[in-house]
Amino acid sequence: MSERRIQAVKGARDILPDEVGAWHRIEAAARDLFPRYGYREIRTPVFEETELFARSIGTETDIVSKEMYTFLDQGGASLTLRPEATAGIVRAVIEHNLAESDPAPKVYAMGPMFRRERPQKGRYRQFHQVDVEAFGMSRPSIDAEIIEVSLAYLEACGLADRELVLNSVGDGNCRPAYVETLRAALRKEAGRLCADCQRRTETNPLRVLDCKVPEDQPIIDALPKIGDHLCAECHDHFAEVRRELDLLGIRYRLDHRLVRGLDYYTRTTFEVTSGELGAQNSVLGGGRYDGLVKDLGGPDLTGIGFALGMERLVMLLPAAGGEPRCDVFLAPLVPAALDPALLLQRDLRRAGLRVLLDNEGRGLKSQMKKADKLGARFVAIRGEDELARDAWVVRDMAGSSQEEVKAGDVARHLERMVRG
């Protein structure tokens, strides 16, 4: 009886060795760029108490209402695999009093997130985010900086073709009145809207602006716009964010429907999209969340940040060659050549070279084929003749040239050749 072959869970992807070079490059770009702006890395657990996400992201959002991986552990606690990074980071900032020693903590994080969405190109159930957050700064300059750092990161990774979309969703002063205005307008259209929008009209009218149902679009486009209902403080804050973006030469498109899929936002919200991604066109998204730290039991500390989908970024980058796998391939052709090859291999690896050895006892031709397949730059060969002369033949695979090198010199010779 043949056993069923187990496969990766739907929506969870393997990142294979040939692809991992692109991931190393975007991770290295994050570690290089963010510290220049004062952001330091933070690592929080992949699971948290379920209540953390319900209270921060909002129970009416798609994420919390239907996409979370929630389970009871043996002790009966309700835990959830993090669907995003911000909530856990805010919890950590509060729990460790990070704002006590540094009134304006700036952090970044990278890692896997989990949402039970319908998988499709660019949308997975386990995906990875690069996340950047700045606390304790309410002036518009940090909004402009967060947007600037997000674009600088895309550029550092090699992504040029993208669009920045911008909005302000107001704050606790002006949004409640706007939400009521919106609800009243929606009630008038109730019969013509999709069932989800009819429900959201009562539970969370802002979510209607996120609706993608084609028939609803003309109705939604005609609804009252948040931009016309901002209080003076929010209006001025947003005007200054835009002035500073102009100053920095950053172009954007305003979209009054950009309310984002999480409830914690106040004032500035933004997304960066790329036409090349298709339906799932958002590469990154973020915004301000000034009330969240306090709502979760912390000090009255403002916050702003963004998260980028690493799978989507990798998809957009030009396919770069894989990382070099093999500097030197060692081919001992006779059993007596094995021990010196093992010692040479150890010494070269200690010196920092990438070394592979064929110990499967095949002939020169098949070993050269294997070296070629592995992308080896040099091959060191030792057969009967070389043993007798206490030497190695070193072949340069690119130049197709070769020379004989004394055994005592071969390690230094190869090091010199590889390092150029």
* Residue 389 C-beta: closest distance to ligand HAM, Å: 59
Distance CA 262, CA 64 (A): 9
* Nearer to ligand HAM (CB atom), residue 25 or residue 123: 123
Distance CA 256, CA 235 (A): 13
> In the block, which residue shows the tokens 């997000």?
150
What residues have CB less than 8 Å from 371, skipping those under 6 apart?
A: 326, 329, 331, 358, 379, 397
Based on CB atoms, which residue is closest to ligand HAM, 311 or 358? 311
Closer CB to ligand HAM, residue 34 or residue 306? Answer: 306
Considering the complex, state which of residue 129 and residue 201 has its C-beta at the smaller distance from ligand HAM.
Answer: 129
Q: Which amino acid is it at 288?
A: R
Instruction: Rank residues 131 and 143 by Cβ distance to ligand HAM and give the closer one.
Output: 131
Residues sharing a CB contact under 8 Å with residue 31, sequence separation 6 or more, in sequence order:
41
214 Cβ partners below 8 Å, 6+ apart? none
Shortest-Cβ-distance residue relative to ligand HAM: 309
Q: How far is the CB of 224 from ligand HAM (least distance, A)?
A: 24
- State in angstroms the smallest separation of the CB of 76 from ligand HAM: 28
CB of 155 to ligand HAM, least distance (A): 17
Helices 410-419 and 338-350: angle between axes, nearest 10 degrees: 40
Q: Report in angstroms how near the CB of residue 286 gets to ligand HAM at its nearest.
A: 4
Residue ranges of alpha helices (H) inside 72-113 are: 86-95, 98-101
Q: Least separation, in Å, of the C-beta of 133 and ligand HAM?
A: 6
* Alpha helices by DSSP H, 206-260: 217-221, 232-247
CB of 82 to ligand HAM, least distance (A): 10
The packing angle between helices 140-157 and 20-33, to 10°, is: 150
DSSP bridge partners of 166: 254, 270
Residue closer to ligand HAM by CB (options 84, 244) is 84
Rounded to a whole number of angstroms, the minimum distance from the CB of residue 394 to ligand HAM is 47
Q: Residue with structure tokens 């004394």?
A: 406
Distance set, CA 43 to CA 20, 93, 305, 339 (Å): 21, 12, 16, 44
CB 120 → ligand HAM: shortest distance, Å?
9
Residues 6+ apart with CB under 8 A from 181: 224, 229
Instruction: Closer to ligand HAM by CB, 147 or 307: give it.
Output: 307
Characterise 49 by phi-psi region: left (phi > 0), alpha (psi -120 to 50), beta (else). beta
Q: Which is nearer to ligand HAM, 85 or 234 (CB)?
A: 85
Residues in touch with ligand HAM (CB under 6 A): 84-86, 115, 117, 123-124, 127, 129, 131, 133, 261-262, 282-287, 305-309, 311-312
Q: Which is nearer to ligand HAM, 117 or 323 (CB)?
A: 117
Label the pairing between strands 303-309 and 282-288: antiparallel
Nearest Cα residue to 210 out of 223, 228, 191: 223
